């Protein structure tokens, strides 16, 4: 009988484990990577926890397009997703809660396998709440999260250049097709700005520590 063994790790990537519920409880962002591996070729599971009150407070909604597949696993929800559901949706898909939806909560993981080589592209798009026309589109690649000792998850690192101009400009939120002025995106619910800011802080702190210890 042929023995089947998982090969030894390479490149300093030791096997790790994480409790998705505990990470979601203490995370500062949606789509938080469970492990510190987001480089090319890495399998990147991320946790997310959402809630909408079914009224004025919704999670916001946008279109995400990725050039690699994303596998979602639902750990708990009272919405359309059922506990234990696993699915791979289209590479262009809606994310969040369309305004006026029912109350719901959901906790899940979303996992993607980064490309070993070549250009891995993504994009984020806001649609008009009234007519579904494209209002603002932001395209980016994995370079969005590269650089420094602590590489960030590219999708999250794209949050500021995607959301901040949109929220800061009524003209940008105004649909050119029907004239509807769209609401600002509830960025505080997603926490991407926290992740971006903390990534910048720890990178600066690491560089300072490295300089001090090499004197």
Average pLDDT estimate for 67-96: 92
Instruction: Report the percentage of the chain scoring pLDDT > 70.
Output: 91
The pLDDT, as a whole number, for residue 118 is 87
Position 212 pLDDT exceeds 60? yes
Could you tell me which of 175, 158, 150, 155 has the C-alpha nearest to residue 36?
150
What is the model's pTM? Answer: 0.86
Estimate to the nearest angstrom the gap between the alpha carbon of 118 and the chain centroid.
21
Residue 128 or residue 210, greater confidence: 128
Phi/psi region, residue 191 (left: phi>0; alpha: psi -120 to 50; beta: rest), is left
C-alpha dist (Å) from residue 192 to 9, 60, 120: 31, 13, 20
Q: Which CATH class is domain 20-213?
A: mainly beta
Domain ranges in the chain are 20-213
């Amino acid at each position: 009988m042929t023995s089947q063994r998982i090969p030894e790790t390479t490149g300093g990537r030791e096997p790790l484990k994480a409790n998705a519920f505990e990470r979601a409880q203490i995370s500062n962002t949606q789509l938080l990577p469970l492990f510190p591996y987001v480089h090319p070729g890495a399998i990147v599971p991320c946790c997310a926890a959402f809630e909408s009150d079914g009224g004025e407070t919704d999670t916001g909604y946008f279109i995400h397009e990725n050039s690699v597949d994303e596998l979602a696993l639902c750990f708990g929800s009272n919405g359309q997703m059922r506990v234990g559901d696993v699915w791979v949706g289209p590479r262009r898909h809606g994310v969040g809660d369309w305004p006026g939806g029912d109350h719901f909560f959901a906790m899940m993981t979303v996992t993607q396998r980064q490309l070993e080589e070549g250009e891995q592209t993504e994009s984020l798009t806001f649609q008009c709440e009234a007519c579904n026309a494209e209002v603002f589109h932001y395209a980016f690649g994995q370079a969005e999260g590269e650089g420094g000792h602590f590489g960030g998850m590219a999708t999250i690192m794209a949050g500021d250049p995607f959301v901040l101009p949109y929220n800061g400009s009524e003209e940008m939120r105004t649909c050119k097709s029907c004239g509807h002025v769209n609401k600002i995106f509830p960025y505080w619910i997603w926490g991407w700005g926290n992740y971006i800011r903390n990534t910048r802080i720890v990178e600066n702190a690491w560089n300072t520590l490295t300089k001090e210890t090499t004197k």
